[in-house]
Structure 1
Amino acid sequence: MKTKLSVFSAAILGATLMMTPAISTAAIPQAVDNKPMPSLAPMLETVTPAVVSVAVSGTQVSKQQIPDAFRYFFGPNMPQEQVQKRPFKGLGSGVIIDADKGYIVTNNHVIDGADNILIGLSDGREIEAKLIGTDPESDIALLQIKAKKLTAVFFSDSDKLRVGDFAVAIGNPFGLGQTVTSGIVSALGRSGLGIEMLENFIQTDAAINSGNSGGALVNLNGNLIGINTAIVAPGDGNVGIGFAIPSNMVKSLVEQIIEHGEVRRGVLGVAGQDLTNDLAKAFGLKTQHGGFVNEVMPDSAAAKAGIKVGDIIVSVNGKKIKSFQELRAKIATLGAGAKVTLGLIRNEKNLTVTATLGESVQSEEMASGSVHPMLTGATLENGQSGVEITEVAAGSPAAESGLVKGDVIIAVNRTAIKDLKSLKAQLQNRKGTVALKIRRGKTNLYLILR
Structure 2
Amino acid sequence: MKNLKRSAAAIALAGLTIFSSSFVSGAMAADARPLIQAMQNSEGEPTLAPMLKNVIPAVVNISVKGTKEVSNNMLFNIPEEFRFMFPQLNQPNRQREFRALGSGVIIDAKEGYIVTNHHVVEDASSIRIALSDGREYEATKIGSDPHTDLALLKLKEFDNLTALPFNSREQMDVGDFVVAIGNPFGLGQTVTSGIISALGRTGLNIENIENFIQTDAAINSGNSGGALVNLRGELVGINTAILGPNGGNIGIGFAIPVDMVKTVVKQLKEFGEVRRGTLGVAGSELTPDLAENFGYKGKAGAFVNEVTPGGAAEKAGIRPGDIITSINGKNIKSFGELRAIIATLGSGADAKIGIFRDGKNLTVNATLTEPDTLSGSDAGQLSDVLEGATLTNNDGGGVLVSAVAPRSRAFAVGLREGDVITTVNRDNVKDLSDLKNKMSKSKSGATALRIQRGSSVLYLTIRH
Give unpaired runs (5+ residues) of structure 1: 1-22, 366-374, 381-391, 405-450
Q: Aligned match of 1:173 in 170, 174, 184?
A: 184
Pairs aligned (count): 358
In the alignment, is residue 154 of structure 1 matched against residue 145 of structure 2? Answer: no
Deviation at 1:363, TM superposition (A): 10
In the alignment, is residue 316 of structure 1 matched against residue 323 of structure 2? Answer: no
Q: Aligned match of 2:343 in 308, 312, 332?
A: 332
After superposition, residues 207-218 of structure 1 pair within 5 angstroms as 207-218=218-229
TM-score (norm 1): 0.73
Question: Contact 2:304/2:323 (CA < 8 Å) preserved in 1?
Answer: yes
AA partner of residue 70 (structure 2): S
Partners of 1:27 and 1:162 in 2: CA distance: 33
Identity %: 57
User: What residue in structure 2 maps to residue 138 of structure 1?
Assistant: 148
User: What residue in structure 2 maps to residue 377 of structure 1?
Assistant: 389
| SS in structure 1 of the partner of residue 326 of structure 2 | strand
User: What residue in structure 2 maps to residue 18 of structure 1?
Assistant: none
Partners of 1:61 and 1:73 in 2: CA distance: 21
Q: Which moved more, 1:102-111 or 1:116-125?
A: 116-125
AA partner of residue 90 (structure 1): A
After superposition, residues 91-130 of structure 1 pair within 5 angstroms as 91-130=101-140
Question: Contact 1:159/1:248 (CA < 8 Å) preserved in 2?
Answer: no
After superposition, residues 249-288 of structure 1 pair within 5 angstroms as 249-288=260-299
| SS in structure 2 of the partner of residue 160 of structure 1 | coil
CA deviation vs aligned residue, 1:154-182 (integer Å, no higher than 9, x gap): 01146410111110000001111000001
AA partner of residue 160 (structure 2): K
Question: Contact 2:183/2:222 (CA < 8 Å) preserved in 1?
Answer: yes
AA partner of residue 408 (structure 2): S
Deviation at 1:51, TM superposition (A): 0.3
Deviation at 1:92, TM superposition (A): 0.5
Deviation at 1:218, TM superposition (A): 0.4
Question: Contact 2:105/2:227 (CA < 8 Å) preserved in 1?
Answer: yes
Deviation at 1:83, TM superposition (A): 2.5
376 and 175 in structure 1: CA distance in 2 versus 1, 3 angstrom threshold: farther
Question: Contact 2:278/2:312 (CA < 8 Å) preserved in 1?
Answer: yes
In the alignment, is residue 52 of structure 1 matched against residue 60 of structure 2? Answer: yes
CA deviation vs aligned residue, 1:268-311 (integer Å, no higher than 9, x gap): 11111111122122223222321111111122211121111110
AA partner of residue 401 (structure 1): S
CA deviation vs aligned residue, 1:392-445 (integer Å, no higher than 9, x gap): 9999742633589xxxxxxxxxxxxxxxxxxxxxxxxxxxxxxxxxxxxxxxxx
| SS in structure 2 of the partner of residue 162 of structure 1 | coil
In the alignment, is residue 203 of structure 1 matched against residue 211 of structure 2? Answer: no
Partners of 2:148 and 2:402 in 1: CA distance: 21
280 and 379 in structure 1: CA distance in 2 versus 1, 3 angstrom threshold: closer
User: What residue in structure 1 maps to residue 405 of structure 2?
Assistant: 398
362 and 248 in structure 1: CA distance in 2 versus 1, 3 angstrom threshold: farther
Question: Contact 1:264/1:363 (CA < 8 Å) preserved in 2?
Answer: no
Partners of 2:229 and 2:158 in 1: CA distance: 24
CA RMSD in angstroms comes to 3.0
AA partner of residue 47 (structure 1): V
In the alignment, is residue 356 of structure 1 matched against residue 367 of structure 2? Answer: yes
Partners of 2:120 and 2:264 in 1: CA distance: 17
Structure with greater Cα Rg = 1
| SS in structure 2 of the partner of residue 251 of structure 1 | helix
395 and 240 in structure 1: CA distance in 2 versus 1, 3 angstrom threshold: closer
317 and 300 in structure 1: CA distance in 2 versus 1, 3 angstrom threshold: same
TM-score (norm 2): 0.71
CA deviation vs aligned residue, 1:79-133 (integer Å, no higher than 9, x gap): 8334322221111100000011110000001111111111111111121110000
Question: Contact 1:91/1:175 (CA < 8 Å) preserved in 2?
Answer: yes
Partners of 2:170 and 2:226 in 1: CA distance: 20
AA partner of residue 181 (structure 2): I
Question: Contact 2:375/2:389 (CA < 8 Å) preserved in 1?
Answer: no
Partners of 2:402 and 2:46 in 1: CA distance: 56
Give unpaired runs (5+ residues) of structure 2: 14-41, 377-386, 393-398, 412-464
Question: Contact 1:103/1:144 (CA < 8 Å) preserved in 2?
Answer: yes
In the alignment, is residue 235 of structure 1 matched against residue 251 of structure 2? Answer: no
After superposition, residues 433-448 of structure 1 pair within 5 angstroms as none
401 and 70 in structure 1: CA distance in 2 versus 1, 3 angstrom threshold: closer
Deviation at 1:72, TM superposition (A): 5.1
